[in-house]
Amino acid sequence: MADKISRREALKVGVTAAAVGAAAMVPKVASAKAKKDVIKWRMQTHWPSGVGYYKDVYVKFCDRVRAASDGELDITPLPPGAIVPTKDVFEAIGRGLFEISLIWPSYWMGKVPVAGHINGQLFSWENVAEMYAYFYDMGAIEIFREAYGEHGVRFVAPLPMSGLALYSRKPIRTLDDFKGYKVRSTGIAAEVFQKAGATPVFFPGAELYQALQTGVCDGAHWGSVSAGWDMKLQEVSKYIVKPYLAEINNGEIIMNQKKWQSLPPHLQAIVEECANSCGTDFLRWTGYNDILDINIYKEKNMGEISTLDDESVARMRQFSLEVVDEYSKKDPKYSAKAGEMLKDLMRKAGRI
């Protein structure tokens, strides 16, 4: 009579067999992973490659996506003009000429007026919590996605920075100082300056330094103090104007709509979460470097802080809201909804 196998021995045999079977499967899993197709995208920005945030924010986004997807999604970051001129990025993304971009919304306000609300209005949001509440809690992001979607573009996420600073060759303390003042500006900000008596002018970021140096313009904004600092604007201006024209100002990450729809859910989640992390990176980078740069500016007597008085700030905020209303009339489908949502937030915050 054969010996009976105890229950404990049977379990030991079963566990051993399972372990051997699992081990045998490891090479197959690794092999399947190795054969998985890698999705390769190209990304273009408007940021010059020499600024500090190019690597610390822009390139880092691509690295983060690659790491989070375990190499399944590989995005190559490219500098301005590598594929198309900056002004043509939105259309090129919609046509599928390339896949994704970190860029500035106001460049396509002529095509999509509501893009100005993505940037943010002058003297509206006073902190990043308000901006995020506007986008996500109040639902403005769905307005932007619908509007962009009509052009084959997916709005992925806002890219906040610590503010919108004006570098100036002249002191700005009251609205009267804007009379005859030539300011390099874009989008809704340019229209607010015009209402204040200034003359908006525009040229690409690469020409900004020379324009200030030669007096082609009297002032310019290029994001926060630190963003402008990395463009060397402190070398060709005598004043930094406070308060910020906007306490929070946004860039954006956008991509081709069909490419977005073709992604499996786990890669869509990775792209969105990495875009949100990119926004945190930019906010952190600009916020901290603003502090450092302002300290250097003061310690080395590189220029003066010129403070716009409270009455002028209130007037500028009113001009900003007037422009919001004008765009609401031009674009009732999208800008009117986004504009009313912004005013509702400002009413609740007690600023209008």
- Considering only residues 289 and 204, tell me which one the structure prediction assigns the higher pLDDT: 289
Over residues 64-79, the mean pLDDT reads 98
The predicted pLDDT at position 206 comes to: 85
Does 336 fall in a domain?
A: yes
Q: What is the mean pLDDT of the chain?
A: 91
Instruction: State the pLDDT confidence band at 35, using cuts at 50, 70 and 90.
Output: low
Do residue 156 and residue 74 come from a single domain?
yes
234 and 273 together in one domain: no
Q: What percent of the chain has pLDDT over 70?
A: 90
Confidence class of residue 220 from pLDDT cuts 50, 70 and 90? very high
Residues 100-112 have pLDDT tens digits of 999 999 999 999 9
Average pLDDT value for residue range 160-181: 96
Q: What is the mean pLDDT of residues 242-264?
A: 97
Query: How much is the pLDDT for 34?
Result: 52
Is 282 a domain residue?
yes
- Is 308 found in the same domain as 184? yes
CA–CA dist 47, 41 (Å, integer)? 18
Distances (CA, A) of 189 to 49, 85, 126, 246, 290: 25, 22, 16, 10, 21
Residues 324 and 240 in one domain: yes
**Residue 333 falls inside a structural domain:** yes
The verdict on 324 and 193 lying in the same domain is yes
- Is the domain of 191 the same as that of 220? yes
Tell me if 3 is assigned to some domain: no
Residues 169 and 155 grouped into a single domain: no
Q: Angle, to 10 degrees, between the axis of helix 140-149 and the axis of helix 335-348?
A: 170
* 179: Cα separation from own chain's centroid: 31
Whole-number pLDDT of residue 9: 43
Q: What would the two tokens of residue 318 be?
A: 């009113």
Q: Does residue 23 lie in a domain region?
A: no
Residue 20 within any structural domain of the chain: no
Domain assignment present for 331: yes
The answer to whether the beta carbons of residues 283 and 162 sit under 8 Å apart is yes
Q: Identify whether residues 88 and 141 lie together within a single domain.
A: yes
| Chain segment 285-320, per-residue pLDDT in tens | 999 999 999 999 999 999 999 999 999 999 999 999
Q: Are 217 and 201 in contact (CB under 8 A)?
A: yes
Confidence of residue 187 (pLDDT cuts 50, 70, 90): confident
pLDDT(217) > 80: yes
Structural domain boundaries, residue 212: 164-248+301-346
How many angstroms separate the most distant Cα atoms in the chain? 111
**Domain count of the fold of the chain:** 2
| Residue 176, domain CATH | 3.40.190.170
Q: Which residue has the higher pLDDT, 22 or 181?
A: 181
Residue type at 130 in one-letter notation: E
Same domain, 237 and 259: no
Q: Domain for residue 110, yes or no?
A: yes
